[in-house]
Structure 1
């Protein structure tokens, strides 16, 4: 099932059962901003068509980070400005084929040949408008603020803050419905990135996966990330074993193992 949810005036989230993915749309007077584009060109085209049912205004795209499920659908939006962090662009240029091969194999092993073929046939597009720190996009009558809050889920996370609506699109810096993913993460720095996100003062936070959440949810998840960071430091310092850290972690073994594997970053 795919469905829209309105989280503010002219601010919508497109929810997908596949990977519990959340994609965003912000509508202004003269343009609209698409937040992430999905995991392949077909999903991107379906999202683009859904956006066109909401608005015919010219679109701009922002990619919150360079993982396939957020960025591989961008080609479907044609010749438009695509914003992202320099590290996001680098990941899609140098790591796009690696990601493609991994996820094609993953979906084939899961018996999802249809998805595997879609990813195989996707043209990967990297952002060309690069934001290392902060930038603003004027949509007419409202401004969206783009911000890199520091390394967290990746080294190149970018959030999209809509101040007049009290909404921030957090990408995978915040997860709802599943634990945060640490495969490419910086577990020691992640809590600081989330704290900076919280200082934006948005009442509604849209995670990259799962339903929109409030500040209390984000604060609780940050407390868990702080616990994981402390466990990482303790293992690196030789104060406990990885097995002991696993037993004390708020997250399942696989997620904690990934965090411990990146404990020195």
Structure 2
């Protein structure tokens, strides 16, 4: 794990566990923490790491409701927590079930300490909701929270730091070995809508895009995978056979199967 200053006063912190990337934006009066990791212990480590850089009061934003991005918040309290309304709905509906699922997953992986930490974790629903767009004044720096449309979830938020030309994309953008991984996709994903969300991100004209997983990327990377999503959408719409899809997809077999719903 390490901090990378991607622009003046704008930091990304990348973790070995799930190759997760979190963020921090500093203003003169406040700072903004982007995602909080996956359990109370991981959140405590991240909060301590933030305090190595700044003593400014903080706000938290969830890019989306998945456990690895939004379950580590209790060590940051008290704070305001920003998210899309759909994130609140997802946490209230699925949060406790997700805790059980991921605790079981880590026990099966032979990581009982993470499983136990997840079980001890209290979920913190957001209290500042952003249906479309909101601007946060951090003191000498304004940060925009933008819902680009449905993408990885129906409630993604990206964090735009205009003066630094940086966008924290959450899982709207991932930087796996092939851009996406098989875990990027769910059964209800609308691939064309996800491509449009990437287009909305590109309209912010970022110089640097920080994905929810992996190292920072540029606009060209986002364009490539916007086009890849559109190609997957074409194959899905055409009801391509698995053989044809694997031949024509720009992605490897595991990603193509997951994106197109082949078991």
TM range (shorter): over 0.9
Instruction: Name the counterpart of 2:108.
Output: 109
Instruction: Name the counterpart of 2:82.
Output: 83
Q: Which runs of 4+ in 1 moved over 6 A?
A: none
Please, which of 202, 207, 211 is the counterpart of residue 207 of structure 1?
Answer: 211
CA distance in 1, matches of 2:29, 2:137: 9
Instruction: Name the counterpart of 1:142.
Output: 141
Count of residue pairs brought into register by the alignment: 257
Please, which of 188, 195, 218 is the counterpart of residue 192 of structure 2?
Answer: 188
Instruction: Name the counterpart of 2:54.
Output: 55
Shift in Å, 1:250: 2.5
For the aligned residue pairs, the C-alpha RMSD in angstroms reads 1.4
Instruction: Confirm or deny that 1:261 pairs with 2:261.
Output: yes
Contact 1:154 1:186 in 2 (8 A): no
Q: Does 223-232 or 142-151 show the bigger shift?
A: 223-232
Structure 1 unaligned regions, length at least 5: none
| 1:223-242 equivalent positions in 2, closer than 5 A | 223-235=227-239, 240-242=240-242
- TM-score normalised per structure 2: 0.94
Shift in Å, 1:101: 1.6
Instruction: Name the counterpart of 2:202.
Output: 198
Instruction: Name the counterpart of 1:7.
Output: 6
Instruction: Name the counterpart of 1:98.
Output: 97
- TM-score normalised per structure 1: 0.93
Structure 2 SS opposite 1:188: helix
Shift in Å, 1:115: 0.9
Shift in Å, 1:231: 1.2
Shift in Å, 1:56: 0.4
CA distance in 2, matches of 1:156, 1:102: 21
Shift in Å, 1:244: 2.6
